[in-house]
Amino acid sequence: MQVTDTIADLLTRIRNANSAKHESVDVPMSKEKRAIVQILADEGYIKRFAISEDEKQGMIKIFLKYQDDKGKKSVITGLKRVSKPGLRIYSDVANMPRVMKGLGTAIISTSHGIMTDRQARKERLGGEVLAFVW
């Protein structure tokens, strides 16, 4: 299966696994996906992730985080892909989006790598707005 928007595929797999209350989800690996998953782990949206290398591409196993073990209420309540291959969305540091008035996280692709909106503001960088997580 050929996927044209790999970031949207990553977010959809996480969203579907969350709604199905799975413990983990596997996604094909790329450097961009690894950076996004690292941000999700650093911000506390997922427990952890593990990378398994093979000859071709490798896989990222993402362990999802829930607020309680009984009801399995997900920590991630929303994932939204902002910039798409057909319509790129860019933002400078002055107009950097705030997700849920600062309660969520925007994932930004800058010239210094993929980072959160807070890091981009701190480093005074703009870039492509990849996704919103809340």
pLDDT in tens, 17-51: 999 999 999 999 999 999 999 999 999 999 999 99
71 backbone φψ class: left, alpha, beta (φ>0; ψ -120 to 50) = alpha
Cβ neighbours of residue 54 closer than 8 Å, sequence gap 6 or more: none
Q: How many domains does the chain have?
A: 2
Boundaries of domain holding 49 = 6-64
Instruction: Say yes or no: 59 and 83 in one domain.
Output: no
Instruction: Say yes or no: 57 and 94 in one domain.
Output: no
- Which pLDDT value is given to residue 55? 82
Of the candidates 22, 59, 57, the one whose C-alpha atom is nearest the C-alpha of residue 49 is 59
Share of the chain above pLDDT 90, in %: 86
User: Domain end: 41, 64, 87, which one?
Assistant: 64
- Residue 1 forms part of a structural domain: no
Question: Has residue 72 got a pLDDT over 80?
Answer: no
Instruction: Say yes or no: 60 and 89 in one domain.
Output: no
Residues 134 and 125: their CA atoms lie apart, in Å, by: 22
- Residue 59 forms part of a structural domain: yes
Which pTM was predicted?
0.92
- Output the CA–CA distances (angstroms, integers) from residue 71 to 21, 22, 65, 68, in the order listed: 10, 13, 12, 6
